[in-house]
Amino acid sequence: MPTTKKKYNLPKGYSLLEATLKTKEFLKNPVTFIAKSMAHFGSTEYTAILGYNSKVILTKNPNFISYVLKDNNRNYEKSDFVSGRARDFLGNGLVFNNGADWLKQRRLIQPAFHRQKLKGLYGIVIQTIKEFLKTAPTGEVDVFPLVNELSFNVLINSLFDLSFSPEIKAELSQLLIDIQAFLVKDVNHPFGRLLYPFTGTERTIVKKSARLRAILLDIINDRKASTKEYCDVLDMLLNSRYEDTGEPMSEDRLIDELLVLVFAGHETTGTSLSWQLYLLANNPDVKSKLMASFEDMTIENCLNNEYFKATINEGMRLYPAAWVTERIALADDEFGDYSYPKGTLVVPFFYGLHRDENLWENATAFQPERFLKDGTLIRSKQFFPFGAGPRMCIGNHFALAEMHFFLYAFLKEFKLEATDQVPEMTPLLTLRPDKILLRISRLERRII
């Protein structure tokens, strides 16, 4: 009997040939390319055919994004396209995991990141920030490497409340940087893999990954042998037990999860903070209003300042560190008039959504007030800085607290001014700037 091929109604987009010809332009600047393509097809979505049975729908439609991440999340998982390779070098931690195993791990780890539990870590976060600011450079400074290093220190100190040797800390950071750089190149240029046997690139990364795991294993073993009391994430994870078996995580799994936390929490926060400083330096009115709102506030209670929360939201709206994500459809699906087959990759384009002129008035302006009603923060269904649904960022409260503490401490201690430099976005896994040059000077009177 002849079989009839099922017809799907995908958004308009690029054929295989067009997508192939445009690869170079896409890789040069994916954010600009995707935004331009959406404008070109006159829609909030477009499709790119990447091969036989390989289709990608990119979307900035908030309802479509909610549908995929939240309402029908059971039909979607992280694709092997990105996560598969990451798993080879960083293990199967939360960000890369899927299905029942992901759920089991998420349930085990989630309590460590509960807002109430995190309060126990705030002392470490604040202390790390204050120490860091003591030696922060002044003059015309590229703030991206600076705050990126700070966010690494905050994370490492909160995960492992240890006095690390600076050498080990630097090694850990460098190993992660090298593995991440490799992954980005590997995923964007899969044909380059053919050369690995000759160049030895993959062998080097395998060795670096093994070294990374060995460092973490040493930390875990030292901790297990210690009789001291700790109040860090490692301690919480060592003490957590699976609901069904009452067993703790194996050492291997613990290493996977710790690695993923550093991977997911470091550059995202560093990038967000860099853009926040840039926006504040270039919007002195907002900065003055924010500083005025700090009157009578301490670093500990600045988390309750509504104007501060709105300012941070507004920064993450304009520069969402996680500018994009991806899910693969496990079965044929439909959204609105569209229908698409199992295996279609759906890519929520948060950056485009957050700057859509049809959804945000004066979309490119930095106006924290848009997140306030009668002085209180409002929720928005078109704002996804930490994703949505069951896979929403596990570290969102941690990241927000760190951003509040850092910006408060920084603005109280330093004068911040813009320069003529206009930063470029160099989006890799996060929406990194190439550099952000700002003029920084220490205030006469130390306030904190």
Which positions lie near ligand HEM, rule CB under 6 A? 69, 94-95, 106, 260-261, 264-265, 268-269, 272, 321-322, 325, 385-387, 391, 393-395, 398-399
14 or 433: CB nearest ligand HEM? 433
Three-state SS for 358-370 is CCCCCCCCCCHHH
62 or 387: CB nearest ligand HEM? 387
Residues 417 and 281 sit within 8 Å (Cβ to Cβ): yes
Rounded CA separation 48/37 (Å): 10
Residue 351 beta carbon to ligand HEM: minimum distance, rounded to whole angstroms: 11
- Give just the sign of the alpha carbon dihedral 23, 355, 385, 348: negative
30 or 387: CB nearest ligand HEM? 387
> Residue 223 is encoded by which pair of tokens?
């901790």
Residue 356 beta carbon to ligand HEM: minimum distance, rounded to whole angstroms: 18
Q: Strands 13-14 and 45-51: what pairing? A: parallel
> Residue 77 is encoded by which pair of tokens?
């998982």
37 or 272: CB nearest ligand HEM? 272
90 or 286: CB nearest ligand HEM? 90
Residue 129 beta carbon to ligand HEM: minimum distance, rounded to whole angstroms: 14
Q: Output the CA–CA distances (angstroms, integers) from residue 161 to 113, 120, 213, 261, in the order listed.
A: 16, 12, 18, 15
DSSP state of 334: E
14 or 312: CB nearest ligand HEM? 312
Type and span of the H or E element at 77? strand 76-77
Neighbouring CB atoms inside 10 A of 168's CB total: 14
Rounded CA separation 432/275 (Å): 9
280 or 322: CB nearest ligand HEM? 322
Q: Output the CA–CA distances (angstroms, integers) from residue 13 to 26, 40, 46, 55, 299, in the order listed.
A: 14, 9, 5, 10, 49
Q: Output the CA–CA distances (angstroms, integers) from residue 370 to 57, 190, 309, 310, in the order listed.
A: 30, 42, 12, 8
Residue 201 beta carbon to ligand HEM: minimum distance, rounded to whole angstroms: 27
Q: List strands edge to edge, sheet with 414-417.
A: 139-142, 437-442, 414-417
302 or 393: CB nearest ligand HEM? 393
Rounded CA separation 393/244 (Å): 25
Residue 225 beta carbon to ligand HEM: minimum distance, rounded to whole angstroms: 25
391 or 432: CB nearest ligand HEM? 391
Residues 395 and 385 sit within 8 Å (Cβ to Cβ): no
Residue 274 beta carbon to ligand HEM: minimum distance, rounded to whole angstroms: 11
Phi, psi at 265, each rounded to 5°? -100, -15
Q: Strands 327-329 and 76-77: what pairing? A: antiparallel
354 or 391: CB nearest ligand HEM? 391
- Calculate Rg over the CA atoms of the chain: 23
Residues 176 and 266 sit within 8 Å (Cβ to Cβ): yes
DSSP state of 112: G
37 or 157: CB nearest ligand HEM? 157
Residue 256 beta carbon to ligand HEM: minimum distance, rounded to whole angstroms: 11
Rounded CA separation 293/286 (Å): 11
Residue 158 beta carbon to ligand HEM: minimum distance, rounded to whole angstroms: 8
Residue 365 beta carbon to ligand HEM: minimum distance, rounded to whole angstroms: 21
In this chain, which residue has its C-beta nearest to ligand HEM?
395
